[in-house]
Structure 1
Amino acid sequence: MNFPSIRIFSLQVFLLSWVITPPYCEAQLGSWWSLASRTELLGAHSPELLLLSAAPNFCSHLEAGLSKGQERLCTLYQDHMSSIAHGADAGITECQYQFRNRRWNCTGTMDNKTDRIFGPLMKIGSRESAFVSAVLAAGVTHAVSRSCREGELSTCGCSKQPRPKILKEAWHWGGCGDNVQYGYKFAEGFIDVREKEKNYKRNSPEQARAFMNLHNNQAGRRAVYRAAKIACKCHGVSGSCSLKTCWHQLPPFRDIGMKIKSKYDAAAKVQLNRKGRLQAVDAGFVTPTAEDLVYLVDSPDYCLFNRKTGSQGTKDRKCDPLSQGTDGCDIMCCGRGFNTRKEVIRERCECKFQWCCYVACKTCERIAEVHTCK
Structure 2
Amino acid sequence: MTETQWNGTVLYLLGIVQAIFVVVNANVWWSLGTNPRMLMVGVQPFCTELRELSPGQIRACQNHHDHMPSVGRGARLGITECQTQFKNRRWNCTTIEDDRTVFGPVIQIASREAAFMHSILAAGVVSAIARSCRDGELSSCHCSKALRPKELVRDWIWGGCGDNIQYGYKFGSYFVDLREKDKNHPRLSPELSRMLMNLHNNEAGRRAVYNYANVACKCHGVSGSCSLKTCWQALPPFKDVGKRLKDRYDGAVEVKFNKRGTRLIRKKRRFNKPTQDDLLYVNTSPDYCVANKTTGSLGTVGRECNRLSEGMDGCRLMCCGRGYNTFKRKLVERCQCKFHWCCYVKCRTCERIVDINSCK
Q: Under a length normalisation based on structure 2, what TM-score does the superposition of the two structures give?
A: 0.90
Contact in 2 for aligned 1:32/1:66 (Cα 8 Å): yes
Q: Deviations over 1:252-287 (max 9, x none)?
A: 211111111111001000011024111111122221
Shift of 1:204: 1.7
- Single out whichever of 159-168 and 189-198 deviates more from structure 2: 159-168
- Single out whichever of 286-295 and 358-367 deviates more from structure 2: 358-367
Per the alignment, residue 276 of structure 2 pairs with 290
The 3 A distance-change label for structure 1 pair 177 and 108 is closer
Q: Deviations over 1:136-181 (max 9, x none)?
A: 0000000001110111100001111122222233222211111111
Per the alignment, residue 285 of structure 2 pairs with 299
Per the alignment, residue 207 of structure 1 pairs with 192
Shift of 1:40: 5.1
Per the alignment, residue 143 of structure 1 pairs with 128
Per the alignment, residue 11 of structure 2 pairs with none
Shift of 1:203: 2.2
Shift of 1:247: 1.4
Per the alignment, residue 164 of structure 2 pairs with 179
Counterpart Cα distance in 1 of 2:175 and 2:22: 17
Task: For residue 239 of structure 2, give the secondary structure of its aligned residue in structure 1.
Answer: helix
Counterpart Cα distance in 2 of 1:26 and 1:196: 19
1:28 aligns with 2:15: no
Counterpart Cα distance in 1 of 2:229 and 2:346: 42
Per the alignment, residue 201 of structure 2 pairs with 216
Contact in 1 for aligned 2:328/2:353 (Cα 8 Å): yes
Per the alignment, residue 58 of structure 2 pairs with 71
Contact in 1 for aligned 2:57/2:178 (Cα 8 Å): yes
Counterpart Cα distance in 2 of 1:321 and 1:313: 18
1:361 aligns with 2:357: no
Shift of 1:69: 0.7
The 3 A distance-change label for structure 1 pair 108 and 249 is closer
The 3 A distance-change label for structure 1 pair 310 and 216 is same
Task: For residue 372 of structure 1, give the secondary structure of its aligned residue in structure 2.
Answer: strand
Counterpart Cα distance in 1 of 2:245 and 2:160: 28
Counterpart Cα distance in 2 of 1:329 and 1:143: 37
Per the alignment, residue 8 of structure 2 pairs with none
Contact in 1 for aligned 2:248/2:278 (Cα 8 Å): yes
The 3 A distance-change label for structure 1 pair 327 and 340 is same
Contact in 2 for aligned 1:108/1:120 (Cα 8 Å): no
Contact in 1 for aligned 2:288/2:297 (Cα 8 Å): yes
The residue identity in structure 2 corresponding to 1:254 is K
Per the alignment, residue 20 of structure 1 pairs with none
Task: For residue 313 of structure 2, give the secondary structure of its aligned residue in structure 1.
Answer: coil
The equivalent position to 2:266 in structure 1, one of 280, 305, 309, is 280
CA RMSD in angstroms, aligned pairs only: 1.7
The equivalent position to 2:177 in structure 1, one of 149, 172, 192, is 192
Contact in 1 for aligned 2:38/2:70 (Cα 8 Å): no
Per the alignment, residue 346 of structure 1 pairs with 332
How many residues are aligned here?
339
Counterpart Cα distance in 2 of 1:250 and 1:187: 15
The residue identity in structure 2 corresponding to 1:258 is K
1:127 aligns with 2:124: no
Q: Deviations over 1:32-79 (max 9, x none)?
A: 11111124554115xxx2xx55xxxx1134x44111111111111010
Shift of 1:241: 3.0
Shift of 1:222: 0.2
Counterpart Cα distance in 2 of 1:312 and 1:123: 15
Per the alignment, residue 327 of structure 1 pairs with 313
Q: Deviations over 1:176-235 (max 9, x none)?
A: 111111000101110101111111112221111100000000000000001201222222
Q: Deviations over 1:295-353 (max 9, x none)?
A: 00110120011111111100000001110000000100000000001111111122223
Relative contact order higher in (CA < 8 Å, ≥ 6 apart): 1
Structure with larger Rg: 2
Counterpart Cα distance in 2 of 1:296 and 1:178: 35
Shift of 1:114: 2.3
The 3 A distance-change label for structure 1 pair 25 and 245 is farther
Q: Under a length normalisation based on structure 1, what TM-score does the superposition of the two structures give?
A: 0.87
| Percent identity of equivalent pairs | 56
The residue identity in structure 2 corresponding to 1:229 is N
Contact in 1 for aligned 2:130/2:168 (Cα 8 Å): yes
Contact in 2 for aligned 1:33/1:64 (Cα 8 Å): no
Task: For residue 227 of structure 1, give the secondary structure of its aligned residue in structure 2.
Answer: coil
The residue identity in structure 2 corresponding to 1:270 is V
Contact in 2 for aligned 1:233/1:246 (Cα 8 Å): yes
Counterpart Cα distance in 2 of 1:183 and 1:25: 33
Per the alignment, residue 3 of structure 1 pairs with none
The equivalent position to 1:103 in structure 2, one of 66, 90, 93, is 90
1:94 aligns with 2:91: no
